[in-house]
Structure 1
């Protein structure tokens, strides 16, 4: 049976839906961020006259765009808010978090796996690494082809490429595509550029395969058009792994380096992190203090511009 597992890392909390040895879906949360389905207290700071929409601010200064406000709720009132979408950083703009009025501030989160998943010290071997590496590369290979992912301000675009005949390639891409959308926590508007299929029967076969592969994943979808394009719209609850890789790439790599360091084995009193200077600049002092506490080692940073952003690693030293 599939189960949500949660790993509390340094600078981030990771959640994976795992069945057997297969990762079905993933979620990622950074401290200080609001999470979809989370209930928080906030102060209503603005409300347009006669409207059910407004703006609230949490005690930590995070702004939330609101809807479903009761008529008698006035500016300055403290209210409970259930987050419907976390804040999103996109190229050239920042989208504030969204939420709706909640009757009670002690209401529980019911759909956030970060809150209800089973916590454990470490995920099964290579589960997080495989998802992270695929999101970093923006590419997933399958027999006969590959999926190439690109994040734009308007949508996530997926290009299906390969050497198979067009109809075979399109059918072969369906299962890995459906798996990737869940693993990358994709939402919003998603465009898939399949190879052009001239025969209507071939297009219908791909539509049927998508229907089956995406069963149980809430979304709406267009039929494949004559150019092989399919558009999917799914609920957007926050930044996907692909969005974070596109807009917060060094931050993602810095946290992955800390995870590798925490897992580093060997003897010695010193734990050295060899990283690119851009990654070194992202490693906060409190994170390094936590790494030292968790490992029981002194921590040292060795910055080297020859190291790729994603290739940071750790080793044990005597001193």
Structure 2
């Protein structure tokens, strides 16, 4: 089975999530975050067939999976082996079940070939490459580039990327298309993606913009030509949630970010945060216990409505 990460990635196994990044030119160029409890795409495991047909429904480890191509000759209630093809997507689409397909392989997890980082560590290598900036892009949906900015909006149908700025139309369209392609990789966006560019006259110019996207995106992907209204659609495999989709569940997103921030503290600490973030932490006792082991002291929580969702911090108890 192919590895889900290659040796040029860094992986940090944190509290509540595993964070993996690929570095290029001194910055994060690709990201993969796997939440605890989410079974990774590429995993092969035994499941119980709940409903036959196309699609079929199977259950494994308390999670239902949709098998779009069916389950072959298996009967309902029978044990089958499936491969996860799309992970559960947290956030606003709880009704949308993850996807799988029937497999003839033996159950196993996908290989991870990445450099493991120490966690917690006094030398924050992820932050060295701009982790905080990456999180801010994900929570705000705004990605700046020279002369303009992208506004990224995940929707149930597709991820929409709007390009705006103060450059001349052709320059803005070219710069925005390149920035959008880099953002797709940087934040792990998959599925259907729509990029709304400034209107550019002339087929030759629109063709050049599409070609610029091709030089940045990695296969596999498909795209349309840039149409006369400046719209470009891209289709990429959607194996897991993008960082923007994870950030859509803001309280949980900020709770995990706060745990990472607090992990380098020592001794008894209090996590002071927005009530919605504290509510998440109160329901995750194992996260708090793990943090207590890292800091070497008890961890308490303090709810304060004056804090923004991302404004929590650790303080000495």
Q: Shared fold by TM > 0.5?
A: yes
- Identify the residue that residue 96 of structure 2 maps to in structure 1: 95
CA distance change for structure 1 residues 312 and 209 in 2, over 3 Å: closer, same or farther?
A: same
The alignment partner of 2:262 has SS state of: helix
Q: Is the 8 A contact 1:67 1:101 kept in 2?
A: no
**1:222 corresponds to which of 213, 221, 224:** 224
Q: Is the 8 A contact 2:52 2:71 kept in 1?
A: no
The alignment partner of 1:310 has SS state of: coil
- Identify the residue that residue 57 of structure 1 maps to in structure 2: 59
Q: How do 1:79-158 residues align onto structure 2 when only pairs under 5 Å count?
A: 79-89=80-90, 91=92, 94-109=95-110, 115-122=112-119, 124-126=125-127, 127=129, 128-158=131-161
Deviation at 1:256, TM superposition (A): 0.3
The whole-number CA distance in structure 1 between the counterparts of 2:51 and 2:257 is 39
Q: How do 1:1-319 residues align onto structure 2 when only pairs under 5 Å count?
A: 3-19=8-24, 21-48=26-53, 53-58=55-60, 60-68=61-69, 71-89=72-90, 91=92, 94-109=95-110, 115-122=112-119, 124-126=125-127, 127=129, 128-214=131-217, 216-246=218-248, 248-264=249-265, 269-283=267-281, 284-315=284-315, 317=316, 319=317
Deviation at 1:34, TM superposition (A): 2.0
Report the RMSD for the aligned CA atoms in angstroms: 2.0
The alignment partner of 1:94 has SS state of: coil
The whole-number CA distance in structure 1 between the counterparts of 2:41 and 2:69 is 16
Deviation at 1:134, TM superposition (A): 1.0
Which shows bigger deviation, 1-10 or 165-174? 1-10
Task: Kindly tell me the number of residue pairs found equivalent between the two proteins.
Answer: 304
Deviation at 1:210, TM superposition (A): 1.2
Runs of 5+ consecutive residues of structure 1 not aligned to the other structure: none
- Flag as ranges the 4+ runs of structure 1 deviating above 6 A: none
The whole-number CA distance in structure 1 between the counterparts of 2:92 and 2:289 is 32
Deviation at 1:6, TM superposition (A): 1.1
CA distance change for structure 1 residues 99 and 290 in 2, over 3 Å: closer, same or farther?
A: same
Q: Is the 8 A contact 1:90 1:153 kept in 2?
A: no
Runs of 5+ consecutive residues of structure 2 not aligned to the other structure: 1-5
